Amino acid sequence: MDGKIAFEEHMSIPETLEDAKMFAGGSADWKSFQEEILDIGEIRLNHMDENGIGFTILSLNAPAVQAILDTDEAILISKKANDHLAEQVAKNPDRFAGFAALPMQDPDAAAEELTRCVKDFGFVGSLVNGFTQKDVPDSAIYFDTPDYSDFWSVVEDLDVPFYLHPRTQIPARAQPYEGHPWLLSSPWGFARETSLHALRMCGSGMFDKHPKLKIVIGHMGEHIPYDLWRIDARMRFSPRGYTGKRPLGEYFLDHFHVTTSGNFSDPTFKCCLEVLGPDRLLFSADYPFERMSDAAEWFDAAPISDAEKKQIGRDNAIKLFKLDLD
């Protein structure tokens, strides 16, 4: 299928490049990976053209800003990354758009930076790499807490989606992974940490206060669609501390959109499609951590109709991000 839209697609600036190194194992070598993730031009466009991807929304690599302990530095790197991305998008606005990197160490600064990126640069949302560290290495701040209520009000007023992207748990809080470091990142830990964060959002009451929020998660929903029935079933018996006014699953189905990034499995796709429906499932690749060719070849052969491929591969993204594309 031509004209696919992808939006868990990563770029880097020199200041955040080393953060990507440990996750680049699927690439041929570090040198070629650096070229791909730093490039917002010929290399990326060639891959897109070869795989029927007409448009890409770009975001800063992980964990980057979310792992910067000093708030002032986090604000500075966010602005630098966003300024660079805006410059590059302006060169090819018919092929690229941007997600804002946000200094979530300071909710007010994050709201201000998102507003700047949306209003001044035309960015179509934000992508934040999981929980945020601040001041000390042993810190993990999640965004369902009351401190972020004003931030979510700004997101809601701007009416742009918020992409919650994975990151690796910090060593001080990674005891269950001891002796098994391979579990920490994309094989398991990414989904564990992101699904926990997403479920905290669903169970915190934040969607009752901010009913227009739109959250995106990748990798076929970070295991949540597979477990959603059981989560709601057991919540009937053990809802201690739950502050939502509706069943947790309703919040997830009403507020979350899920991409196919980095999870090119027919059985998983069928589960997501059945649980979410075609309106909330969207194509993405996760380049350059995954190959665009793997994502595109799998999706183009997926066991769904051509109409559903067009909806999931393109139309849903146009609607969600209000893209001015034919």
The residues annotated with a catalytic role in the active site are 286
Neighbours of 292 (CB within 10 A): 24
Main-chain phi, psi angles of 92, to 5 degrees: -140, 60
**Tokens linked to 133:** 């560290």
Which residue reads 């909710």 in tokens?
107
CA-to-CA distance for 215 and 162, rounded, in angstroms?
5
Find residue 98's DSSP bridge partners: 58
Total length of the chain: 326
Cα-Cα-Cα-Cα torsion 145, 150, 154, 159, nearest 10 degrees, comes to 50
Closest CA to 253 of 229, 226, 275: 275
CA-to-CA distance for 262 and 264, rounded, in angstroms?
6
96-98 and 126-128 strand pairing: unpaired
**Tokens linked to 199:** 């479920």
Q: Are 67 and 91 in contact (CB under 8 A)?
A: no
**Tokens linked to 153:** 């009000």
